[in-house]
Amino acid sequence: MEHLRSPANILTLIVVGLCAVVPFLAPALGEPFYVIVFARIMIWAIAAVSLNLIMGYGGMISFGHAVYLGIGGYTIGILAFHGITSAWIQWPAAIGACALISLIFGAISLRTKGVYFIMITLALAQMIFFLSVSAERYGSDDGLNILSRSDFGVSFFDLNDKLTMYYTIFAVLLASVFISWKLVHSRFGVVMRAAKSNDTRVQAVGVSTYRYRLIAFVIAGVMCGIAGLLQANFERFVSPDMMNWPRSGELIFMVVLGGMSTLFGPVTGAFVFLMLSEILSTWTIHWHIIFGPFLVLVVLFARGGIHGLLTRRSDKGVGP
């Protein structure tokens, strides 16, 4: 935040500003569909921000992060299926479920490092995915329709109201970025970043890096679960597909595309990723054939992502 007028910050302002005004701008321009697109982008952005917290700042490459979208979403869906629609039960239950599962998964997978960690997070996430596929009662492959959104029991805050729903998502997005910022710049965040660059040294100082990693893993899981409960409420539908492993891959890509270890990078990444897939998919149904190589090229030539590219350029102009 030092260079307030750096290109990366200006881009952030544009993206966040657009998100803020789209519910009014899009209908005025005759494109009301974009309100839905932006709501979806922001939900993914929350998930990407949460992944960035452990991957960007903590060096933990979780290849199963989308599972928490699914757990958060399915908690809402299953409770609604059984007639429990009160948000005061649904939301704490979703958060609790994500906290519990991420605690268990984190405790197992954080015992390992590097490529083992990647594969274990992937496998554990697929386990939940297959569980949801085999849950015939809750729709299996076809998913589960949610008849009514979470009910807060008060008239002035009703998620069935389009604007309330939209700005709830917007507020959660801003809050998740704010929490990341707070965490990263706290003592906790310093330990996490130090452990990323040299784990042995941090342990030698007498800090249990495992505990810090595990806590970060749980925070990220809960944050992603909140994105999931928002997604379930917004789409009024959950399906195993929302936590299948390509979703986890896409989340990683959003973070890297926007810029790992930057505060707003994941938000920009989600925005560019989803807008691009939206646009490409209107050109051709075979848009993956362009998108796949694009992904490879980003990895090969755009290290640091969009925010990295912008920052580097501004550094040249402004000096160190």
Partner 1 sequence: MDYVLLTEQFLNGFQLGIILFLMAAGLTLVFGIMDLVNLAHGSMFMIGAFVGGTITLVTGSFIVGVVLMIPAMLIIGIIVEMTTLRTLYPRDHLDHVLATFGLILFFNEATRLVWGPEGLVVPLPDFLDGTVALGAITYPVYRIVIIAVGLLVALGLYILVSRTRIGMLIRAGASNRTMAGALGVNIPLLFSIVFGIGAVLAGLAGLIITPITAAQIGMGEDVLILAFVVIVIGGIGSIRGAFIASIVTGVIDTMGRSFLDVFLLLFLPENAAESAGPALSSMMIYILMAAILFFRPQGLFPPKGAG
CB of 129 to partner 1, least distance (A): 9
| 84 or 298: CB nearest partner 1 | 298
| 127 or 190: CB nearest partner 1 | 127
DSSP state of 263: S
Query: Distance from CA of residue 49 to its chain's centroid?
Result: 5
| 56 or 73: CB nearest partner 1 | 56
C-alpha distance across the termini of the chain, in Å: 14
CB of 260 to partner 1, least distance (A): 8
CB of 55 to partner 1, least distance (A): 8
Give the CB-side neighbour count of residue 170, counting CA atoms within 13 A.
19
CB of 182 to partner 1, least distance (A): 25
238 forms bridges with which residues in the sheet? Answer: 144
Q: Which residues contribute to the site for partner 1 (CB under 8 A)?
A: 55, 61, 63, 108, 111-112, 114-116, 118-120, 122-124, 126-127, 130-131, 133-137, 245-246, 249, 252-253, 256, 286-289, 291-296, 298-300
Question: Six-digit token pair at 66?
Answer: 């989308």
| 105 or 271: CB nearest partner 1 | 105
CB of 112 to partner 1, least distance (A): 5
Residues 6+ positions from 193 with CB-CB distance below 8 Å: 57, 58, 184
Question: Ramachandran region of residue 144, left (φ > 0), alpha (ψ -120 to 50) or beta?
Answer: beta
Q: Is 147 helix (H, G, I), strand (E, B) or coil?
A: coil
Q: Identify the sign of the CA torsion 112, 118, 120, 121.
A: positive
| 23 or 269: CB nearest partner 1 | 269
Virtual torsion, Cα 121, 264, 181, 112, nearest 10 deg: 20
CB of 257 to partner 1, least distance (A): 9
Question: Six-digit token pair at 148?
Answer: 């009514």
| 23 or 56: CB nearest partner 1 | 56
Residue 211: count of CB within 10 angstroms of its CB: 11
CB of 212 to partner 1, least distance (A): 19
Residue 84: count of CB within 10 angstroms of its CB: 14
CB of 75 to partner 1, least distance (A): 16
CB of 319 to partner 1, least distance (A): 29
Residue in 244, 227, 223, 239 with CA at minimum distance from that of residue 127: 244
Task: Mark out the alpha helices in 56-197 (DSSP H runs).
Answer: 66-81, 87-109, 114-134, 162-184, 187-197
| 81 or 245: CB nearest partner 1 | 245
| 16 or 53: CB nearest partner 1 | 53
Q: Identify the sign of the CA torsion 93, 96, 102, 104.
A: negative
Residues 6+ positions from 177 with CB-CB distance below 8 Å: 49, 263, 264, 267
| 131 or 171: CB nearest partner 1 | 131
